[in-house]
Amino acid sequence: MRYPLSIACFLIAFAGFGQNSDLPSDFLNKGFHKERRQKLRETLPPNSVAVLFANPVRNRANDVDFVYHQDPDFYYLTGYKEPDAVLFVFKEKQTAANKSSYDEILFVQPRNELREMWTGRRLGDAGVKDVLGFEQAFNNTEFKRYNIDFEKFDKILFFDFKNDVRDNPRDSSDLYDLISQFKMKVKYPEKSSLTLTPEPQKQNLDVKGLAEAMASLRGIKTKEEIEMIKRAVQISCVGQVEVMKAMKPGMSEREIQGIHEFVFKKYQAEDLGYPSIVGAGHNGCILHYIDNYKPNITSKELILMDLGAEFHGYSADITRTIPVNGKFSQEQKQIYELVLKAQEEAMKICKPGTPRQQLTIVCREVINKGLFELGILKSETEKHMYFPHGVCHHIGLDVHDRGGPNLEENNTVTIEPGIYIPDNSPCDKKWWGIAVRIEDDYLLTKDGYEHLSTFAPRTVKDIEAMMKMPSALDGFTLPDLEKKN
C-alpha cells in the first residue's frame, strides 16, 4: 500500500510512538531473560554459537494475518514479542571491529512511523537496548552486512527452519530474508536436508542440540515463571467456577466457551494457551474438539471443558466435566469417579524422580480394572480403547511445554486421565456419549507437589454444590436478533 506524502509528514509528529505507558508492568523483566541467556550459554559446547529466529507471521486469509505469537524459546531468551528478529548467543566473548567485546546480539525490526500507525508499536534497536537490556542490538536491516566469521565455530546450534515462512517482497530484511542471509553466511547445504541425514554434511551445523538445551532450561521453572503459571491457573479456575454457576440446559457450547474466555480477559489474560475445547455429550469424546458448535446442550448431558488462559505468555491447562442439569446420573457418576480415582492414584506418585510415563501407566491400570468391573471392557484386546492418551505433560510458555521425561523439582505439569465412550461402542448403550476428563495442574516440590488448580471443584459432591450457587449471569439476557422471513 502507498501513502501520500501529507500523511507521511503528519506521522513524523509521532516520534514517541514506540513508548507505551499503557502496557502492564508485571511481565518477566529483562533480568530474567538475560539470566536465561547466561544459563543457555553455560550449557553450550566450547567454541559455539546458538542462533534462534523469531516466529513467522502466519496468514489467516487474504490480507488478514493471525494474531502474532512469538516463538516461546525466542521469548524465553529475549522478552521480544515482535516478528522478523534473530538472536545470537555466543559461548565465548567475541571481539567487534571496534575492539569492543560481546557475547550476544539481537537483530530486530526497525522503527517505522508509518507501519506503526497501521500495525502497532515497535521497540527498534534503541528500544531493545533500553527495555530489554541488550548491549548489542541492531535493526535487522544491518544483518546482511554484519560480519561474523561462522567458519571458526566448532558448533553452530539452531532449530531446523520452519517451512511456512513467507517472503514479503516489500521488505528486504523480514524473517525470510534473515534466514536466507544466515544460510549464506553459514554455507547451509541447501540441497540436502539436515533432518533427513544422520550427520549434517557441514560438520559445524547442529540442528539437534538446541532442543535438548532448551528443554533442560525450560522444564525447571524459576520463581518468576511459577508466579505467572499460578496466575494463569487461578484465572482458568475462576472460568470453570463461573461456568459451573451459570450452566443451564439450552445454552450453547459457544456460549459456555464465551463465559470462560470473558473471565480470562477480565483478568487481563492476553490469549488462550490453546483453542478452547467445550464438548457436550458425545462431542466430549473428540479429544481436541474445538468446533464448539452445538447450539442447545441438553439437560442429561455431561459437558467437558478443557481450557487454559495464557497470562503473559504462560498457559494453564485445566479440564472439568460437569452435568448440564447440575446432578450426575448414576452412570455418569460411576465413570466420573473412576477417572477421579485414576487421577488420585497418579497424584500419589507425583514427585521428583518419577518418570512422567509412570503416571499414565498407573491411570491405565485403575481405568482398565474399573471398566472391566463395570462390564464396559470385555476383553484384553479392548484395553485402552476408551482412554487413548497419556496423562502428564509439562506446561509453561507452551501448553505442551519443553521439559524432561522424569519429574523434577519446579516442573509444572498436568495429570489428566479420561474415559470417552462414543455412541455405538461395543458396550451397553446406557454408557454411550459419556466422556469425562479431569485435568489439574501441579508444581513439583522437593518431595511431592503443590496442587495449583484446587479452586475449581473436582469431586462429584463439590461440583454439584457449586452448580447450586447463584451466578452473576442469572437473568442476563440479550435482545433477540431480527429474523428474516
Contact positions vs ligand GLY (CB under 6 A): 274, 306, 317, 399, 416, 439
Looking at the Cβ atoms of 104 and 441, the one nearer to ligand GLY is 441
In 3D, which of 337, 334, 322 has the Cα closest to residue 467? 322
Hunting for cell 519429574 — which residue is that? 407
Least distance from Mn ion to the Cβ atom of residue 236, Å? 10
Q: Which does 68 bind (CB under 5 to 8 A by kind): ligand GLY, Mn ion, none?
A: none
Least Å distance, CB 399 to ligand GLY, is 6
List interacting residues with Mn ion (CB under 5 A): 306, 317, 414, 416, 439
274 binds, among ligand GLY, Mn ion, none (CB under 5 to 8 A by kind): ligand GLY
Nearer to ligand GLY, 194 or 399 (CB): 399
Residue 416 CB, nearest approach to ligand GLY (Å) = 5
Smallest distance, Å, CB 388 to ligand GLY? 13
Q: DSSP readout, 443-470?
A: EE-SSSEEETTTTS--SHHHHHHHHTS-
CB 435 within 8 A of CB 418: yes
Binding site partner of 174, from Mn ion, ligand GLY, none, Cβ cut-off 5-8 A by kind: none
Least separation in angstroms between residue 446's CB and Mn ion is 24
Q: Give least dist CB 363 to ligand GLY, A.
A: 14
CA neighbor of 235 nearest in space, from 275, 273, 289:
273
Per DSSP, the three-state class of 60 is: strand
Indicate the residue among 137 and 272 with the shorter CB distance to Mn ion.
272
d(CA 329, CA 331): 6
Q: What is the nearest approach in angstroms of ligand GLY to the Cβ of residue 418?
A: 9
Buried b (16+ CB within 10 A) or exposed e, 34-50: bebbeebbebbeeebbb
**Residue number with CB closer to Mn ion (185 or 320):** 320
Closest CB to ligand GLY among residues 165, 456:
456
Cβ closest to Mn ion, residue 319 vs residue 425: 319
Cβ atoms within 10 A of the Cβ of 263, count?
21
Backbone angles phi, psi at 97, to 5 degrees: -55, -35
**Closer of 242 and 439 to ligand GLY (Cβ):** 439
Picked from Mn ion, ligand GLY, none, the partner binding residue 125 (CB below 5 to 8 A depending on kind) is none
b/e map of 363-383 (b: 16 or more CB within 10 Å)? bbebbbebbeebebbeeeebe
